[in-house]
Structure 1
Amino acid sequence: MTYEELKELLAITHNPMTLTREMVPTLPGLYVWRSKHDDSIEYIGKASGKNGLRGRVWCQHLNPIYLESRPDKIAQDDAQRGFNILHNGKLCIDKSVFRRSIGKAHQLSPGVETVRHIRENCTIAWVTFSSDLLEYIPRWELDLIKDYPPRLNKAGNRHS
């Protein structure tokens, strides 16, 4: 696969409203969240963990209980902390950087509201990588972010 072929494959989108767990591959890859309204790129990320894209997209971005409680108060978390969402008795924020960014941009509470917004307002595209191409994932993620500056990727953010 070439970088140009990668960009073509990332044009094939899926609707998260109809997506099922089984539809999301367990292979590593890159993914792109787009706005359903104008097809603009919202977020670009990589999934290189043992559960691949399913672990990142299904278990994190689309899982409303993927929340975290931080013992230290961080100013960037204030927008979500203000909704007073509790998980296991602790004040929580979205654990996914993408979801926190969505929540902050649209003033949504963490968990159910951010996931609902993603499902209703975004599409997702992904490309899986065979083992001989895994080394390209980090570089091509950065190239995509540079070529198509996503609205919600933070400058210098390397966590996807």
Structure 2
Amino acid sequence: MNGKEILINLKASSKIKPNLEKCSVPREQGIYAFFDKNNEIMYVGCAWGEQGLYGRIIKKHLNENYLEYREEKHIKGKDDFQLKNTINKNGKNYIDKSALRKNLGRILSLKPGYETVSYILTNFEFAYTILNKITKDELLNLEKEVISLSSPIYNIQGR
């Protein structure tokens, strides 16, 4: 499968409304996309490893506690809003760690954690394509190709 075929498959797939209690996502590797209500691709990502798509979508993008405090990962200017609205835990200031949520916070001025997750749950649906018979490097290259073909607004450029 190439990037164009994956993109066509993602767009044609039945969309899944994110729901933390009833959402069934496989623990297999693949490429996924979040769509807005007009079926436009807003974000593309890939997942591999033991938790696969489930780990990336449910445990990271939809988990309001998936946060980071590492200051070297914060980008002055881009992360200013989240940095002014950090979640303080044990004396450390946390912002979103998920690339999707971090970019939602940057573009829409959403606070980390609850606000970014709520935005995803309210405004997005997702679809995925399972790609088990390829290497991690092949998966990453396909993700880049799909991003290049679809230009999603919430993807980090130059990844």
Provide the TM-score with structure 1 as the length reference.
Answer: 0.86
In the alignment, the residues of structure 1 paired with residue 45 and residue 19 of structure 2 have an alpha-carbon distance, to the nearest angstrom, of 20
Secondary structure of the corresponding residue to residue 118 of structure 1: helix
Q: Partner residue of 1:26? A: 27
Matches within 5 A, 1:121-160: 121-130=123-132, 132-134=133-135, 136-157=138-159
Cα distance in 1 for partners of 2:157, 2:75 equals 18
Contact 1:17 1:120 in 2 (8 A): no
Quick one: distance in 2 between partners of 1:39 and 1:88? 41
How has the CA–CA distance of structure 1 residues 61 and 9 changed in structure 2, closer, same or farther, with 3 Å as cutoff?
Answer: same
> Matched residues in 2 for 1:119 and 1:79: separation?
21
Task: Measure, in 1, the Cα distance between the counterparts of 2:42 and 2:52.
Answer: 20
Preserved contact between residue 6 and residue 146 of structure 2 (Cα < 8 Å): no
| TM-score normalised by L of structure 2 | 0.86
Name stretches of at least 5 consecutive residues in structure 2 with no aligned partner: none
Unaligned ranges ≥5, structure 1: none
* % identity of equivalent residues: 34
Cα displacement (A) at 1:123: 0.8
Q: More displaced, 115-124 or 40-49?
A: 40-49
Aligned length: 154
Aligned residue for 2:80?
78
For the aligned residue pairs, the C-alpha RMSD in angstroms reads: 2.0
- One-letter amino acid of the counterpart of residue 125, structure 2: T
Q: Supply the AA of the counterpart residue of 2:66.
A: Y
Residue 91 (structure 1) shift: 1.0
**Counterparts of residues 87-106 of structure 1 (less than 5 Å):** 87-106=89-108
One-letter identity of the residue aligned with 1:137: L
Match status 1:44 vs 2:44 = yes
Per-residue deviation, 1:78: 1.6
Q: Structure 2 vs 1, CA of residues 42 and 50 (structure 1 numbering), >3 Å: closer, same or farther?
A: same
Q: Is the 8 A contact 2:64 2:114 kept in 1?
A: yes
Partner Cα distance (1:54, 1:30) in 2 = 11
Q: Secondary structure at the match of 2:79?
A: helix
